[in-house]
Amino acid sequence: MKQPTTPDEVKALHDIRRTDPQRYLKIVDGWLNENPNNHLAYYGRHFAWMDLGEPHRALEDMNKVVELNPDADAFFLRGEVLRHLGEYEKALDDFDRSERMMPDEWQDLGFGLLFQADCDARLGDEDKALSCCERLPDDFWTPGIFEAPGGDKTAVAPQLRLIAAEARRRRG
């Protein structure tokens, strides 16, 4: 299968990833055999690794994406993987880099701020977590994806306080 170039081809490939991730991996591995510098293939494959519960492999792919194409999305997605792995300081470094590369979009989208706040809370830094939460757009809402707090920013704040308090309690 060739790399998709049309919306229909992208959807077909996405459907393969969702329904048959092993087949998807074989397809992408073929692209990487043809061109080991294909950052888009690594980018896509990292999603499959996450779907399959292989975050370390996803991190390897995102490290390669950052090496080949260090744009804001690469740092954001690598930060997500690092956050999933509990490497909160490293995740915050990547989120900060992504934010510096696209400050307006970062503020408007909100998920970077939410993930930053979650990392800060998990490190026990309630003040930083709440500062990120305060910067969320007024119309922000999430169902609580990827183990991050859910709701609007008013509902997220108390959850961040609890996460930070628990992190501080565990540290003793």
pTM of the model: 0.91
Do 21 and 51 contact (CB within 8 A), yes or no? yes
Average pLDDT over residues 103-110: 84
Predicted pLDDT at 107: 78
Average pLDDT over residues 150-169: 96
For the chain, give the percent of residues with pLDDT over 70. 100
Q: How confident is the model at residue 77 (pLDDT cuts 50, 70, 90)?
A: very high
Q: How confident is the model at residue 104 (pLDDT cuts 50, 70, 90)?
A: confident
pLDDT tens for 46-64 read 999 999 999 999 999 999 9
For the chain, give the percent of residues with pLDDT over 90. 88
Predicted pLDDT at 110: 87
Average of per-residue pLDDT values in the chain: 94
80-85 LR contacts (CB < 8 Å, sep 24+):
80/115, 80/146, 81/46, 81/50, 81/55, 83/115, 83/118, 83/119, 83/146, 84/50, 84/55, 84/146, 84/147, 85/55, 85/56, 85/59
Residue 156 has pLDDT above 90, yes or no: yes
pLDDT tens for 118-154 read 999 999 999 999 999 999 999 999 998 888 999 999 9
Residue 2 has pLDDT above 90, yes or no: no
